[in-house]
A and B are shown apart, each in its own frame.
Chain A
Amino acid sequence: MLRSSIARLAARCPAMGPTARAALLTAVLFFVPFLTAHAQSNDERPAVTRTLAFENATVISAPGTQQSGVTVVVRNGVIRAVDTEAEIPYDARVIDADSMYIYAGFIDGLSQAGIEMPDADDSNESTDAPSLARSGVQPERHAPAFFDPAASRVEQLRAQGFTTAHVVPDGRMLPGQGALMALHGPDSDAATIQDGISQFAQFRGARGSWPDVVAPSTTMGVIAMMRQVMREADRRQQLEEAYANNPQGQPRPPRDAAHTALMPAVSGEQPVLFAASSAVDIRRALALQQELDFPLMLANLKAGFETVEALQSASVPLFLSLDLPERTELPSDTTDAERPAPDPVFQVGPGLELDRERTNLRLRLRDEQERYIAQATTLHEAGLDFGLTTHDVSPGDIHDRLRMLRDSGVPEETLLAALTTVPAQAFGVDRRLGQVAPGFIGNLVVTDAPLFDEDTSIRHVVVDGHLYTQDSASEGEVTGDAEAVVGAWTMTLETPQGEVDIDVTFSGDASGLSGTVVGPDGSEEQIESISFDGETLSFVVPGSQMGDARVSGTVEGNRFDGSLSAGGMSLDITGQRTPPER
């Protein structure tokens, strides 16, 4: 959180002086190498058995089917039996699933969980004749090379029931190829289900800030560069074919990794997965596909409701964002149940009805928010299938967002399909993933109530036959006097590049503490796992892509003194509290 908010700040804040920006960026970059070095540290205990049996469960083997009293057997990572009569193997770890519901593990359509990119070194790069990599064209990279299954985001997604993710490298316009990864494993290789699933693309210009920028710096620059590299890849592919047929007397065709990596997309063998949230970006991606004729997938859609007809005629796999807007409060004289429509022809008029204007604008804003929230419903009603992506979403919010979709009108069956069978089919793994059925990979989500019910908890997640049981202790425990902690803290993190201030606020009582942290750019994140025993305060700031930051230290009066550990390194952190007013 901290690092990503610093990075966002540095990217976004033109008001900051270059020195401040540089210092922040350095602080950010400082973390990264440590994080990549960070490997998994648990699971050192030897496995007792690789056979699991959930006994007497309610199984939703595929969307729309449900059967009770079923026993599910997983052995060596594969589902062996799903049957009321299934025999429980002698070596099974048996779990009484009497009141439990078993679903296929969820598949995230677009994720950067576990991805840690190496520090880009531009120091020797000329902006005059930039390399393709400097321009953000790095299609030769593969996500597994940068994937760490022990990263906290992997753990967090898994805790929400995701067992598989289409993971893509981070970068600019063409960051590299996505892979279908198991959200579990001793290492990236073991977690790789299928590499080269997609060529990831986004409308994102090259790194850098003025004047150290290279093309493309704009969306139109990205589009031009897409044409350039795709057409050149096409030309080179033809040259290579001609050369292969008749090399004698011909110069060897030019060759580089980037163009070569694009050839499968150019020749229609590998889809380009475009992240496109807004209506105009969706249309731009579709226009590029029409023009350059590559297989396309669209991901991270937010305003797809605006482009229904275009999506219908394009008929490409879609992955909708779970990042939904917060609903603006309605004017006081209206209620959710009877929310009036905004007056579409409202004019303030000579009587200056400004109160009515304000009400109307709030209703309109709310209407627009509802359109975003109802994107999935709109597409569903238009007969479009879709998967989902957790990109940009805080893992803790995922199930809340899913219920928002359900409440807006998406049938639960469709939602479950969006989490399981639809992505499995889109990625061509529907014979291995997406169902609770014999022969499928042993990926399960086990809940204590129907999945989309309000108070449902996920009790177990199985990935590749490996059991993860939810540990409720990680919620954090307050045994000390919460009053000693509650209030606004200014915490100062000592980085080698200088101090960074963070605002932390705790609220709550002995029954539990909650908190938020506000980074230097004003972005706010929820704090997790807050524990306080009267002396030691510890909490976790969930990381976005770079892992969690764990803070622990002692509280004395209004002072806090402790350390922050993230990515295998530790920094001193101190704090000063302003207690709440009485």
Chain B
Amino acid sequence: MRTVFLFLLSFGLVWTSTAQPGPDRLRADAPNSVLIQNATVHTVTNGTLDTADVLVQDGVIASVGTDLSAPSGVDTYDATGMHLMPGIIDAHSHIAISDVNEATRPVTAQVGVGDVLDPYDVRIYRALAGGVTTSHVMHGSANVIGGRNETIKHRYGMTHPNALRMEDAPRTIKFALGENPTRVHGESSDVVPRTRMGVESVIREALTEAQRYQALQDAYDAGDRSAPPPHSERLEMLADILSGDLIVHAHSYRADEILMLMNVLGDFGVDEITFQHVNEGFKVAPELAEFGAGASIFSDWWAYKFEVYYSTAYNAAVLTRNGVNTSINSDSPDLNRHLYHQAAKAQRYGELSDEETLALITINAAEQLGIDDRVGSIEEGKDADLALFSDHPLSIYAVPQRTYVDGTVRFDRNDDPDDMRLQVDPESVVEETVVWHDTGTRHGACMQQTGMHLHANETGVRLHN
């Protein structure tokens, strides 16, 4: 709230509390207190407790231990034989928004996906069915500097967009390096950048303009100028990057461009960044660790474009062993339903421990998003965002059973109906089938709305992630 509030003040706006939760169409009467008993509890930050209890009161984890008793009015849930872990955090997603890419210019910091949240998106529920409780919903990767992202909680059933927003989550903005922006702007529109040199130049120019804009604004505020500079939504946002109020999450693949961005941000005094995808992060793991940059990666996606041809599924292991804060994300409305499985592959490829592996989709992602004080582990005082599995969550046989958000059950394998849509297009037909699975076409959503679908043929979209 603090940062949001400051942000609003900076525009001289009055914060009017319109964040009415709106009706909860699914769980209006569901309690947000529960005692979960006899589970194997993977706290992630404090080891694993066999046959332990977790007491949730008013949406918050009240205590973690053994033989806890339920206060009056609080139901118990017998989770004997089950595994409880913190709600999974997807550090890179494009669900729950109406737009992904404002692909019209290389720098579009003025837009934000938070303006077009879509609480009706059934993919929120499907993520819940995979234990995911928080998503970092991102602008696409068409532009060097894209739009602002939004960190949401999967309060599926609430129909007010504001009900999805995770209060207090730091603001973040999408950057994108390499093939996507050079292709969208350079190759298709004849606009810089066409090369990775151009990408650097675009960022430096944009941030320099923002410095100058802020200087004019400051001079006006100090009474040294009679007029404020011409208003620029874009430069306001870029200036927030420089002030540390807007955290960069950079779509990136190649080692060189990763190094470039750390150099550029360093020159502008920006010291916080998380690299997204970062398939060649393993090559520059020591540099990432030294800068303190985060890496949010795919478990094993590669070879879908040239800049990910020299990839390894051991990326998570190399980064982790080199001290880089690493998370595994989905960038996909399919993969986000089994991030626990995506993370588990870090055990095949590099033999990470259970705790290290679970951290990839919980506390590490929380740290990258600046929300680790609220979520990412099972600790007293944290939000009761919890995922309950039939088996060890890193086992292939693990089946998610229940997912809690703020202590409220929002996925229940046994009780939920099949059709979980919150709304139905009145013009639709009942048996509308989308066939997703032509061979080899299943990759992420980063390039939606770039117009690149014009290059699609029946074998799928040519540009990915």
> A contacts B directly in the complex (CB < 8 Å)?
yes
Residues of chain A whose beta carbon lies under 8 Å from any beta carbon of chain B? 14, 127-128, 206, 209-211, 213-221, 223-225, 227-228, 231-232, 234-235, 239, 242, 250-251, 253-254, 279-280, 283-284, 286-287, 290-291, 303, 306, 309-310, 313, 325, 328, 343-348, 357-358, 360-362, 364-365, 368-369, 372
When chains A and B are docked, how far (Å) is the Cα of A313 from the Cα of B16?
A: 12
Indicate if B267 sits at the interface (CB-CB under 8 A). no
Asked if residues A224 and B115 are in contact (CB atoms below 8 Å), the reply is yes
Q: Are B228 and A14 in contact (CB under 8 A)?
A: no
A215 touches B232 (CB 8 A): no
Q: A216-B104, A235-B231, A284-B116 are in contact. Are A211 and B427 (CB under 8 A)?
A: no
B367–chain A nearest beta-carbon distance, Å: 27
In the complex formed, the residue of B with least CB distance to A281 is B98
Check B18 against A287 for contact (C-beta < 8 Å). Answer: yes
Further 7 A-B residue pairs, CB within 8 A, beyond A217-B103, A218-B449, A365-B426: A210-B450, A211-B451, A218-B98, A251-B227, A279-B159, A306-B159, A365-B429
B424/A364 in contact, CB under 8 A: yes
Q: Which residue of A lies closest to B453 (CB)?
A: A14
A218: B residues at CB distance < 8 A: 98-99, 101-102, 111, 116, 449
Among B425-460, those with CB < 8 Å from A are 425-431, 449-454, 456
A347 touches B418 (CB 8 A): yes
Residues of the B chain whose Cβ atoms lie less than 8 Å from the Cβ of A368:
423-426
Cβ–Cβ contact A310 & B22, under 8 A: yes
Chain B residues with CB under 8 A of A242: 226-227
Report how far A224 CA is from B427 CA in the complex, Å. Answer: 30
How distant is the Cα of A76 from the Cα of B451 in the complex, in angstroms? 56
User: Within the complex, what minimum Cβ distance (angstroms) separates B201 from chain A?
Assistant: 16
Q: Is the CB of B428 within 8 A of A227?
A: no
Which of B104-125 touch A at CB < 8 Å? 104-105, 108, 110-113, 115-120
The distance from the CB of B437 to the nearest CB of chain A, in whole angstroms, is 20
Among B112, B113, B449, B456, chain A packs the most CB atoms within 10 A around the CB of B449
Complex Cα–Cα for A227 and B114 (A): 14
Quick check: is B419 within 8 A (CB to CB) of the other chain? yes
Is B98 in contact with A280, judged by CB distance below 8 angstroms?
A: yes
Which residue of B102, B115, B147, B233 contacts A228 across the interface (Cβ within 8 Å)?
A: B233
- The reply to whether B116 and A223 contact each other, CB–CB distance below 8 Å, is yes
Flag whether B72 is at the interface (Cβ < 8 A). no
- The 6 A-B pairs of least Cβ separation, nearest first, read A210-B451, A325-B426, A218-B99, A368-B424, A215-B104, A224-B110
Q: Which residues of A contact B22 (CB under 8 A)?
A: 309-310
CB–CB B13/A291 < 8 A = yes
| A226–chain B nearest beta-carbon distance, Å | 10
B147-189 interface (Cβ within 8 A of A): 147, 159-161, 188-189
**How many pairs, one residue from A and one from B, have CB atoms within 8 Å of each other in the complex?**
159
- Nearest residue (CB) in A for B421 is A364
Chain B residues 190-239 with CB under 8 Å of chain A are 191, 226-228, 230-234
Given contact pairs A220-B115, A369-B426, A231 touches B104 in the complex (Cβ within 8 A): no
Chain B nearest CB from A516 CB (Å) reads 18
Chain A residue numbers with a CB within 8 Å of B117 are 280
Cβ–Cβ < 8 Å partners of B99 in chain A = 218-221
Q: How far is the CA of A132 from the CA of B365 in the complex (A)?
A: 40
Tell me the bound Cα distance from A139 to B230 in angstroms: 19
CA A219 to CA B427, docked complex, whole Å = 22
- Chain B residues, CB < 8 A from A369: 426
Contact in complex: A235, B228 (CB < 8 Å): yes
Most chain B beta-carbon contacts within 10 A, residue among A210, A219, A223, A348: A210
Proximity bits, B84-110, A CB within 8 Å = 1, else 0:
000000000000001101111100101
Interface presence of B11 (CB below 8 A): yes
Contacts of B112 in A (CB 8 A): 220, 224
Q: How far is the CB of A321 from chain B (nearest CB, A)?
A: 12
Q: A216 touches which one: B11, B102, B227 (CB < 8 A)?
A: B102
- The reply to whether A215 and B233 contact each other, CB–CB distance below 8 Å, is no
Instruction: Report whether over half of chain B's contact residues are helix, strand or loop; otherwise say mixed.
Output: loop
- B111→A221 contact, CB < 8 A: yes
Q: Interface of B with A (CB < 8 Å)?
A: 11, 13, 16, 18, 20, 22-23, 98-99, 101-105, 108, 110-113, 115-120, 147, 159-161, 188-189, 191, 226-228, 230-234, 415, 417-419, 423-431, 449-454, 456
Q: Could you tell me if A220 and B105 are in contact, using CB atoms closer than 8 angstroms? A: no
Given A127, A206, A250, A283, which contacts B161 in the complex, CB threshold below 8 Å? Answer: A283
Tell me what chain A mostly uses at the interface: helix, strand, loop, or mixed. helix
Q: Name the contact of A365 in the complex, choosing from B23, B424, B453 (C-beta under 8 A).
A: B424
Chain A residues with CB below 8 A from B431, complex form: 358
Minimal Cβ-Cβ distance residue in B for A212: B189
| Minimum C-beta distance from B24 to chain A (A) | 12
Kindly list chain A residues whose C-beta atoms are within 8 Å of the C-beta of B449: 217-218
Asked if B417 and A211 make an inter-chain contact with CB atoms under 8 angstroms apart, the answer reads: no
Considering only CB atoms, which chain A residue lies closest to B426 in the complex? A325
Nearest chain-B residue to A306 (Cβ)?
A: B159
Q: List 26 A-B contacts (CB under 8 A).
A: A14-B453, A127-B189, A210-B103, A213-B103, A215-B104, A217-B102, A218-B111, A219-B116, A220-B102, A220-B112, A220-B115, A224-B108, A227-B110, A227-B233, A242-B226, A242-B227, A287-B18, A313-B18, A328-B430, A344-B417, A345-B415, A348-B418, A361-B419, A368-B424, A369-B426, A372-B426
Residue in A closest to B232 when the chains form the complex, CB atoms: A228
The residue that A220 contacts in the complex, of B13, B113, B160, B424, with Cβ under 8 A, is: B113
Chain B residues within 8 Å of A310, by CB = 20, 22, 160
Q: Which residue of B lies closest to A215 (CB)?
A: B104
CB distance from A250 to the nearest CB of B (A): 6
List A contacts of B230 (CB < 8 A): 232, 235, 254
Are B451 and A213 within 8 A (Cβ)? yes
- Contacts A213-B451, A306-B423 known; A284 to B115 CB distance under 8 Å? yes
B-side contacts of A209, CB under 8 Å: 451
The answer to whether B16 and A290 have CB atoms under 8 Å apart is yes
Asked if A214 and B104 sit within 8 Å, CB to CB, the answer is yes
Q: Which chain B residue shows the least CB distance to A342?
A: B419
Residues of A within 8 A of B450 (CB): 210
Closest CB of chain A to B147's CB: distance in Å? 6
A360 to B417, CA, bound (A): 12
Chain B residue with minimal CB distance to A292?
B13
A279 in contact with B120 (CB, 8 Å): yes
On chain B, the residues within 8 Å of A232 by CB distance are 230-231
Residue numbers in B under 8 Å from A127 (CB-CB)? 104, 189
Query: Is A221 touching B102 in the complex (CB atoms < 8 A)?
Result: yes
Q: How far is the CA of A221 from the CA of B105 in the complex (A)?
A: 11
Taking CB atoms, residues of chain B closer than 8 Å to A284 are: 115-116, 161
Query: How far is A347 from B450 in the complex, measured between Cα atoms in Å?
Result: 38
> Which partner residue on chain B sits nearest A254 by CB separation?
B230
* B226 proximity list for chain A (CB < 8 A): 242, 250
B430 & A365 in contact (Cβ 8 Å cutoff): yes
User: Which B residue's beta carbon lies closest to that of A279?
Assistant: B159
Q: Which of B103, B111, B425 has the most CB of A within 10 A?
A: B111
In-complex Cβ contact of B454 among A14, A216, A291 (8 A): A14
* Residues from chain B with Cβ under 8 Å of A344 in the complex: 417
Distance from A152 Cβ to chain B, minimum over Cβ atoms (Å): 27
Shortest distance between the CB of A362 and any CB in chain B (Å): 5
Most buried by A among B101, B116, B191, B453: B116
Bound: A206/B430 CA distance, A: 33
Flag if B20 contacts A239 (CB, 8 Å): no
A253 to B231 CA separation, bound complex (whole angstroms) = 13
Q: Which of chain B's residues have a CB closer than 8 A to the CB of A286?
A: 18
Closest to A221 in B: B102
Residues of A within 8 A of B160 (CB): 283, 310
Chain A residues near B188 (CB, 8 Å)?
A: 210-211
Task: Given the known inter-chain contacts A220-B116, A224-B115, A280-B116, please indicate yes or no for A231 contacting B423, CB distance below 8 A.
Answer: no
Q: Which residue of B lies closest to A302 (CB)?
A: B426
In Å, the complex CA distance between A253 and B228 comes to 11
Q: Are B116 and A361 in contact (CB under 8 A)?
A: no
Residue of A at shortest CB range from B450?
Answer: A210
Docked complex Cα distance between A344 and B424 (Å): 14
Min CB–CB distance B8 → chain A (angstroms): 8
- Contact partners of A228 in chain B: CB under 8 A: 110, 231-234
